[in-house]
Amino acid sequence: MTCEESKRLLAGYVDGELDLVHSVEIEDHLRACSECAKLVEMDRSVRSAIAQSHLQFTAPESLRRKVEAAVANAFPEEARSTKSPAVKFPRRERAWQWAFAAAAMLLFAVIAWKLVPQRQTNFDSASDEFVSNHIRSLLPGHLADVESTDQHTVKPWFNGKLDFSPPVQNFEPQGYPLVAGRLEYVDHKPAAALVYQRRKHYITEFIVNARGAQDTAETRSTQQGYNVIAWTHDSLHFWIVSDLNTIELEDFAHLLRQ
Amino acid sequence: MNGAVQREQFTQLVMPHLDAAYNLARWLVRNPQDAEDLAQEAMLRAVRFFDGFRGGDPRAWLLTIVRHTCYSWLTRNRPAEAAEAFDEEAHSGGAQAGASASSTSAMMTTARSEYYSSPEAQVIAQSEAGRLRQGLDSLPLVFREAVVLRELEGISYKEIAEISGVSIGTVMSRIARGRERLRQALGNPPAPLIITEAGPKPQTKAAAIKGQTS
C-alpha cells in the first residue's frame, strides 16, 4: 500500500470502519512508514481530545416539555375520549363513565400484557441476532464504543443513550475483566452490550429493557457453536453469548446474577 | 388503544434521541433559539411520520429528519451558507482527503503530537475544549455535520451516509478533512504532504469500507 492510499483510508482505519483486508494492509504499511503512523496518532489524539471536551449540547427543558406535550397530543390514549362529554352528564351517569374508563384501562392493560409475552417468545430469533452481533463484534475494531476496565467509565457512558440504566460491574478479581461497552440495536430495541474477557475468549452481555416482564430462570442454548444463556431480572432481559465452555459461562451467569 | 401503543413506542424508540436531535440542529444552525425551533419542528415531523417508520435505527431515522429540516431552513434563511456547503464539497475531491496540500517539518509534527498526549495536555484541557468547540463551529457545514455525527454521536459511516444522503467514501473524506482542520485548531500543524513516486491507484475507496455491500 502506498502512502497515498493509506492517507485516503486513514480516517476509516482510525474509526475501525475498514474491512479486514484493508485494515491488515494499512497496518502493514504503518509498521513500515513512520510518517503515516504519525498521522494515525494525530488523528487519534484529535479524537480523544474531542471525546474529552464534551461538545454535545443537550436538549433544553423547554424543548423537552413542548415535544412531550406534542407527543401526548398526537397519540391520545383511549381513556381520554370519554373525558370531553363529562360535563354534560349528571352526577350519577358520571359514575358509569368512570366505570367505562376503568374498563377501557383494564382492557388496555390486558392487551399490553398480552403483547409483552409475544415479544418475548421470539427468543430464538433474538438469540440468533445476539449471536451474530457477538461474532460481528469480534471483527477488528468493532468490539467497543467505549473501552475501559472501569465500570465507572462504562456505566455513565450509556447515560442518555438508553432508556434504562444497565448494571455494570467489573469481575476482574473473579477472572472475567470488563473490557468494553458499546451500544447495539437488537430485536428492534436499543441494547447495552458489555464485553468481558475470560482468557482468550470474549463474552458479550446484552441488556435490553423488558419493562413489565416477569423475572425468569436461565435458558441455555447453543447456536453456531456459541453458548447463549438468557434470563430476565428486574425488568431487564439479559443475554450472554460466548464461545467459552458451558460450565464457565454458567459460572459467569451466576456472578452476574448475584 | 392504538394511540396509546404508538405513544409508548414513540416514547421508547424516538424520545431517547431528543438530545441527539437537538445537538445536531444546534451544530448545523449554530444558535440555540433556531436550533430549539428546528429540533421541535423535526420532532413534530417525526410524530407525524411515525407510521412510516419501519424498523431500522430510530436515531438514524430521526437525525435524517432533523438534518432535512435544518437544511431546508438554511436554504431559506441563509442561502449563502447552504450554497457554500456544496461549493466546499466540490473542491474537496475524495482523493485529497486527509492530505491537505501544505508541507511542514515532520520534526515539529512529532513534537506536537507528543505534547498533546502529555499530562500537561490534561491540565489545559479546558482551553483545549474551547479551541475545539470554536474549531468545530467554524468548519464548513458538511464537514461539521460529518464530524458531529461521528465524534459526538458515535454513528457508523454507513449510517452517516444514509443520514446525509451521500456515499460512504464521501463520509470518510469529510471526516478526514474535518479532523484535519480540528487538528489545526488545536495548534497542530497540517499533515505533512507525502510525495509518492507512484501515482494514486484507481481503486475505489468505498469498496474498502465494511458494510458497503449490505
3-class SS at A253? helix
DSSP state of A55: -
Please judge whether A188 and B55 are an interchain contact, meaning their C-beta atoms are less than 8 angstroms apart.
yes
Which residue did the predictor score with more confidence, B131 or A111?
B131
Interface test with A, best of B22, B145, B188 (most A CBs within 10 A): B22
Same domain? B115 vs B66: no
Task: Indicate yes or no: CB of B194 within 8 angstroms of CB of A7.
Answer: yes
Q: Residue A211: in which H helix or E strand, if any?
A: none
* pLDDT score for A56: 93
A22: nearest CA in chain B?
B208
Identify the band that residue B153 occupies on the pLDDT scale cut at 50, 70 and 90. very high
Closest CA to A178 of A215, A142, A152, A160: A152
Position A238 scores a pLDDT of: 92
| Mutant choice from A25, A46, A82, A113 vs B, greatest count of B C-beta within 10 A | A46
Which residue of A6, A15, A146 to mutate against B (max B Cβ within 10 Å)? A15
Name every residue whose Cβ is closer than 8 Å to that of residue A240 and which is 6 or more positions away in sequence: A203, A204, A205, A206, A228, A229, A230, A249, A252, A253, A256
CB within 8 Å of chain A, chain B residues 97-156: 97-99, 106, 109-110, 112-113, 116-117, 125, 128-129, 132-133, 136, 147, 150-152, 154, 156
B196/chain A closest Cα distance in angstroms: 7
Closest CA to B97 of B87, B88, B106, B109: B88
Q: Is residue B170 situated within a structural domain? A: yes
Q: How many residues does chain B have?
A: 214
Q: Is residue B205 part of a domain?
A: no
Residue B80, C-beta contacts closer than 8 angstroms, at least 6 positions apart: none
For chain B, the domain total comes to: 2
List beta partners, residue A225: none
How far does Cα B39 stand from its chain's mean position? 17
Give the nearest chain B residue to A37 (CA atoms): B110
Residue that is written with C-alpha cell 489545526 in the block? B184
Residues found in chain A: 258
- Is there a contact between B179 and A46 if contact means CB atoms under 8 Å apart? yes
Stretch 201-220 of chain A: residues touching chain B, C-beta under 8 Å: 209
pLDDT by position in tens, chain A (length 258): 888 889 889 999 999 898 888 888 999 999 999 999 999 999 999 999 998 888 999 999 999 999 999 888 888 765 444 444 444 444 455 666 777 788 888 877 777 666 654 444 455 667 777 888 887 777 666 666 767 667 777 777 887 788 888 888 888 888 898 888 888 877 778 889 999 988 888 899 999 988 888 888 888 888 888 889 999 998 899 999 998 888 889 889 999 988
Residue among A41, A46, A59 whose CB faces B22 most closely: A59
Instruction: Determine the pLDDT at residue B195.
Output: 44
Q: Find how far residue A184's CA is from the centre of its chain.
A: 4
Answer yes or no: do A60 and B191 touch at CB < 8 A: no
Instruction: Specify the pLDDT at position B118.
Output: 53
Residue B70, domain member (yes or no): yes
Q: What is the pLDDT of residue A219?
A: 87
> Which range has highest mean pLDDT (A8-17, A115-124, B21-30, B100-109)?
B21-30
Query: Which letter does DSSP use for residue A244 in this model?
Result: S
In the sheet that holds A201-209, the strands lie side by side as A146-147, A178-186, A189-198, A201-209, A236-242, A226-233, A219-223
pLDDT of residue B196: 44
* A11, A17, A189 member nearest B97 (Cβ): A11
The pLDDT value recorded for residue B189 is 52
Lowest mean pLDDT among A7-11, B10-14, B51-55: B51-55
Q: Is residue B147 part of a domain?
A: yes
Q: Is residue B98 part of a domain?
A: no
DSSP three-state, residue A76: coil
What interface predicted TM-score (ipTM) does this complex get? 0.73
Residue B156's DSSP bridge partners are: none
Which CATH number fits the domain that encloses residue B157? Answer: 1.10.10.10
| Residues A108, A116: Cα–Cα separation, whole Å | 12
Chain B residue numbers with beta carbons less than 8 Å from the beta carbon of A70 are 40, 43-44, 47
The radius of gyration of chain A's CA atoms, rounded to the nearest angstrom, is 25
* Rounded Cα–Cα distance for residues A6 and B95 (Å): 11
- Other Cβ atoms within 10 Å of A73 Cβ, number: 11
User: What phi and psi, each to the nearest 5 degrees, are found at residue A237?
Assistant: -90, 135
Q: What angle do CA B70, B76, B80 make, to 5 degrees?
A: 95
Where in the sequence is the domain holding B63, given as residue range(s)? 2-77
Are the C-beta atoms of A202 and A253 separated by less than 8 Å?
no
> With contacts defined as CB-CB under 8 Å, which chain A residues touch B183?
42-43, 46
Mean pLDDT value across residues B172-181: 94
CATH code of the domain in which B28 resides: 1.10.1740.10
| Contact indicator for A29, A8 with CB cutoff of 8 Å | no
Q: Residues 42..101 of A with a Cβ closer than 8 Å to B: which?
A: 42-43, 45-47, 49-60, 62-64, 66-68, 70-72, 74-78
Classify residue B119: in a domain, yes or no.
yes
Task: Answer yes or no: is pLDDT of B192 > 70.
Answer: no
- How confident is the model at residue B46, as a pLDDT? 93
Higher pLDDT, B18 or A219: B18
Per-residue pLDDT, A92:
52
- The four Cα atoms A242, A244, A246, A249 give a dihedral, to 10 degrees, of -70
Asked, for residue B88, whether it belongs to a domain, the answer is no
Domain boundaries, chain A: 3-51, 78-121, 123-257
Is the CATH number 3.30.200.100 carried by domain A123-257? yes
All cell numbers assigned to A138: 469480534
| pLDDT at res. B169 | 92
Residues 6+ apart with CB under 8 A from B43: A67, A70, A71, B14, B18, B21, B62
What are the Cα distances from residue A250, in Å, to A48, A98, A169, A221, A246? 37, 51, 17, 12, 6
Give the torsion through C-alpha atoms of A147, A152, A155, A157, to 10 deg: -60
Residue B191 lies in a domain: no
3-state class (DSSP) for residue A143: coil
Residue A121 in grid coordinates: 417468545
CA distance A222 to A246: 9
Q: Give the Cα separation of A182 and B137 in Å (integer).
A: 28
The secondary element (H helix, E strand) that includes residue A100 is helix A91-121
